[in-house]
Amino acid sequence: MDEIADPSSIAHYRITAKIGQGGMGEVYRATDTKLGRQVAIKVLPEAFAQVPDRLTRFAREARVLASLNHPNIAAIYGVEERALIMELVEGPTLAEQIAQGAVPLDEALAIAREMTEALEYAHDRGVVHRDLKPANIKVAPDGHVKVLDFGLAKAMASEPASGDPISSATVTAEHTAVGLVLGTPAYMSPEQARGRPADRRSDIWAFG
């Protein structure tokens, strides 16, 4: 792999632009040269390269997440070493939209409905988001919602937090013998804050 700080390609994916960065990695727009489609690539933090077992666990979790097939969940296409290949979703995040002013009620209800449909689908398949927040929701140009980073909090377990508590990436700090603290403070359910196991109720809290 080329230097992660500024990669030009990863496997058969040609990097064209950097589109984001956070505690869960840097995100790039790329072209899949085999299939001729645009994708998003999340390059995982350097710490992953130091612990092979974590890469193995991450790949295992990614396979579970790749099994999710729902129109309101951004798809995961595959894993390449320290990189996660994902569906590229255009449009602003819900956090960016909210920053521009209040979302009209009818639009907010439509967004909420599609979010709940995505959550119900994943929960019925045993997958919990664990880091639901406006920054992980995109409103595509066609007006439909895409929930991003579904289940990655669990896959990323033990990455440190960075940034402000409202929009920072997943907090994954060791907390108790029970487990890890996974989530973003401003949207974290009480059980997550205490380092207890999260289930669908944790996502419902964050949604609320």
Catalytically active residues are: 131
Token pair of 113 as six digits: 């409905």
4: CB partners within 8 A, 6+ apart: 26, 43, 46, 82
Of how many residues is the chain composed?
208
Closest C-alpha among 207, 197, 38 to residue 115: 207
